[in-house]
């Protein structure tokens, strides 16, 4: 199957027919991650823990889904290992999972979580469930309110690869710290009654 159809090449470099097919059948990273997790669970049941290692799964996945054979990005050990990291770090956080799936449902290929590199950026910057949830919620909010386009939610912009490793996710996490300070430390020092502080 063509790399353009699988979404593994920039669409602007692909023939119009391949772009049309990709838009119809291309899978998002989230869809692929759910597919791989289901595949891993089946192999755990049939082969035990040894059958669920990324290297083994990559080989078996390619054998059982021959239409993806040769597409290294989809069936490589590295891709599968990263897919399981996203499953265990982002999709294991229930609130973050709801946000990511809602974006997928509402926006499809325009979701800010459409590619594996965007999901990897969240894992690189957000180190605990609270940060992950806040980070993905800000990404959703920025796209929803048109503060940023989906294209601006690239891995490069999210992690700050061209801006001294300070990207959008760093901005979001600083906002989280500021919010925490205002709601807790700062608010406690203000001469307000308890009801006003809660409200």
* pLDDT tens-digit readout, 38-93: 988 888 888 777 667 777 787 777 777 645 444 445 667 888 889 999 999 999 99
Among 89, 121, 156, residue at a domain's last position: 89
Do 112 and 168 have their domain in common? yes
Place of tokens 């692909």: 14
Among 89, 115, 133, residue at a domain's last position: 89
Do 130 and 109 have their domain in common? yes
Do 63 and 81 have their domain in common? yes
Place of tokens 């048109």: 146
What the block records as the tokens of 36 is 């791989």
DSSP state of 26: P
Do 115 and 84 have their domain in common? no
Do 195 and 105 have their domain in common? yes
Of 68, 42, 73, the closest CA to residue 57 belongs to 42
Which residues touch 132 (CB under 8 Å, ≥6 apart)?
A: 89, 90, 93, 96, 122, 123, 126
Do 150 and 182 have their domain in common? yes
Do 114 and 149 have their domain in common? yes
**Which range marks the domain in which residue 165 is found?**
93-199
Given this model, what pLDDT does residue 94 score?
98
Do 74 and 134 have their domain in common? no
Do 46 and 64 have their domain in common? yes
Do 24 and 68 have their domain in common? yes
Given this model, what pLDDT does residue 8 score?
46
**pLDDT surpassing 60 at residue 100:** yes
DSSP-based helix, strand, coil % in the chain, nearest 5: 70, 0, 30
Do 129 and 192 have their domain in common? yes
Given this model, what pLDDT does residue 28 score?
87
Confidence (pTM): 0.75
Do 188 and 101 have their domain in common? yes
Q: Looking at the 3D structure of the chain, how many domains does it have? A: 2
Start-to-end CA distance of the chain, whole Å, equals 57
């Amino acid at each position: 199957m063509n790399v353009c159809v699988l979404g593994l090449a920039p669409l602007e470099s692909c023939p119009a027919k391949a772009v049309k097919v990709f838009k119809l059948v291309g899978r998002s990273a989230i869809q692929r991650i759910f597919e791989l997790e289901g595949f891993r669970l089946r192999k755990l049941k049939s082969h035990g823990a040894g059958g669920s290692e990324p290297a083994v799964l990559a080989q078996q996945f390619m054998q059982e889904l021959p239409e993806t054979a040769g597409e290294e990005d989809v069936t490589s050990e590295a891709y599968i290992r990263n897919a399981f990291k996203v499953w265990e770090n982002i999709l294991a956080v229930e609130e973050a999972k709801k946000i990511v799936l809602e974006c997928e449902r509402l926006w499809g290929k325009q979701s800010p979580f459409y590619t594996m590199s965007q999901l990897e950026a969240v894992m690189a910057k957000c180190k605990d469930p609270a940060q992950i949830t806040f980070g993905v919620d800000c990404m959703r909010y920025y796209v929803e309110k048109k503060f940023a386009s989906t294209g601006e939610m690239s891995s490069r912009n999210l992690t700050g690869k061209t801006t001294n490793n300070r990207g959008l996710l760093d901005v979001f996490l600083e906002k989280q710290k500021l919010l925490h300070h205002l709601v807790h430390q700062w608010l406690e020092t203000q001469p307000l009654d308890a009801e006003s502080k809660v409200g």
